[in-house]
Structure 1
Amino acid sequence: MNTPKTDWPSSLTDDELDELDRYLRAHSGDGDLLLDGVHGMLSALSVGPLQVLPEEWLPEVLHEPFADEEEGNRVLALLAKLNDSIAAELDVDAYEPILGEVDTETGPTLSAAGWCEGFSRAIDLRAGLWEKRLADDPSLMELLGPVMALAVDEGILSAEADFEKLSDDEYDECLSQLPAVLSAVEQYWQQHPVTEADMEALTQAEPSSGGGDNGGQAPPRHRSGHWLH
């Protein structure tokens, strides 16, 4: 990535990411999205087929009233900046997924579980449209291959056939492909815009209720540690 730092988009600083991370951890319950999940969700919305307004996705992120107006304005400003930064980062090849960290027997390790959970919930917000297009066009499923592999590996999605766990190298390779996947999916929807039939499928499907429900596919995963690039 050869983009000069002076040309990078105005992304959240490390201090701002830590601030948002602390807020989400202090105001989230089991199954709620943390910073990695919010980033995954906003990433999917950024490259998706139709705009999803903040009033639709904010209930997936915020679950308690703000303590006061100042706190509310600050958190909303950080979320807006995070949201705006994703498209800008993709435009200049500066996108990096925000990943969680989990404790294992061999020590802390990066995990895409939260990011994939957020990505999945974003698709749920336009479920009928995504499901119809994925069924009609195998090329879109192929583009999403690395995301799907990580999501199945982490138990976010269930696989119809037997699925062998990814090796560490395969897992890392899928992670490295996420920026390219997002760019390819964004380009796909630009080249294959939403049709009337897609819209009919969208109106017939009910979005997920949010609030941390993961559809019974997997129990909430305990994540520890801080946000990490």
Structure 2
Amino acid sequence: MNTSKTDWPSSLDDNELDELDRYLRGHAGDGDLLLDGVHGMLSGLAVGPLHVLPEEWLPEVLHEPFADEEEGNRVLALLAKLNDSISAELDVDAYEPILGEVDTDTGPILSAAGWCEGFSRAIDLRAGLWEKRLADDPQLMELLGPVMALAVDEGVLSAEADFAKLSDDEYDECLAQVPMVLGAVNHYWHEHPATEAELEAEVKPSDEKEEDSSGPPRQRSGHWVH
């Protein structure tokens, strides 16, 4: 990473990222987002079509009561700071996804699975609007191509057609394009905001809950990597 975190006053430093990572790991159940997933979700919300309030996305992150007020204030402050840092990094073209690390026979490798799972949950929070626009405008699907390829490769999303696994080089290439994808999607929604018809079609998460037929996301070992 070439750009110093001191360029963004709202960004978490490594110690704060470690602290938030430890908290999330210590309170995560099966299928719950870890730090990479939280970063993916907040990234998706940052570049999405409509603002999503913390009271909507916090239930995707926090699943247990805090031990005390001090812990609650600290965790919420770290999450707010992480959320603020994403837009700041995008503004100066210095965004990097937080990735998980998976143990393999040949050693640990970076994995976008958690980040992609979080990004998909961000889309789910405004599912009606995203789905309608993706169906109506192939440009948006094209912009999301590298992220969609990673998500399908990692089993986060299912593909309608047969999908060949990405080679290592293809995976790395898609991963390298994630910052550009987010910038392009952010620009897209600014240039083509949601229409009244799309807003009317939008279904709020509290209004409709569907069973997730895809099963829980893959579990990952390792730790956050930035």
Same fold (TM > 0.5): yes
User: Residue 121 of structure 2 corresponds to which residue in structure 1?
Assistant: 121
1:169 correspondence with 2:169? yes
Instruction: Name the CA shift for 1:60/1:113 in 2 (closer, same or farther; >3 Å).
Output: same
CA RMSD of aligned residues (A): 2.0
Q: Which amino acid in 2 is paired with 1:221?
A: R
Normalised to the residue count of structure 1, the TM-score between the two structures is 0.93
Q: CA deviation at 1:8?
A: 3.5
The percent identity for this pair of structures is: 82
Deviation readout 1:107-142 (Å, 9 max, x if unpaired) = 111100000000000000000000000000000000
Instruction: Name the CA shift for 1:205/1:31 in 2 (closer, same or farther; >3 Å).
Output: closer
Q: Which amino acid in 1 is paired with 2:225?
A: L
Q: Which amino acid in 1 is paired with 2:107?
A: G
User: Residue 130 of structure 2 corresponds to which residue in structure 1?
Assistant: 130
Aligned partners of 1:205 and 1:68: how far apart in 2?
Answer: 29
Instruction: Name the CA shift for 1:17/1:6 in 2 (closer, same or farther; >3 Å).
Output: closer
Aligned partners of 1:91 and 1:191: how far apart in 2?
Answer: 16
Contact 1:147–1:174 (Cα < 8 Å) also in 2: yes
SS at match of 1:220: coil
Aligned partners of 1:101 and 1:7: how far apart in 2?
Answer: 26
Aligned partners of 2:10 and 2:179: how far apart in 1?
Answer: 18
SS at match of 2:177: helix
Normalised to the residue count of structure 2, the TM-score between the two structures is 0.94
Of 176-185 and 104-113, more deviation after overlay is shown by: 104-113
User: Residue 36 of structure 1 corresponds to which residue in structure 2?
Assistant: 36
Kindly report which structure 2 residues correspond to 1:1-229, keeping only aligned pairs within 5 A, or say none.
7-203=7-203, 209=209, 215-229=212-226
Q: Which amino acid in 2 is paired with 1:37?
A: G
Deviation readout 1:73-111 (Å, 9 max, x if unpaired) = 000000000000000000011111000011112111110
Contact 2:126–2:204 (Cα < 8 Å) also in 1: no
Q: CA deviation at 1:180?
A: 0.4
Deviation readout 1:8-57 (Å, 9 max, x if unpaired) = 44310000000000000000101000000000000000010000000000
Of 29-38 and 9-18, more deviation after overlay is shown by: 9-18
Contact 2:5–2:11 (Cα < 8 Å) also in 1: no
Q: CA deviation at 1:3?
A: 6.3
Aligned partners of 2:207 and 2:122: how far apart in 1?
Answer: 10
Aligned partners of 1:208 and 1:228: how far apart in 2?
Answer: 35
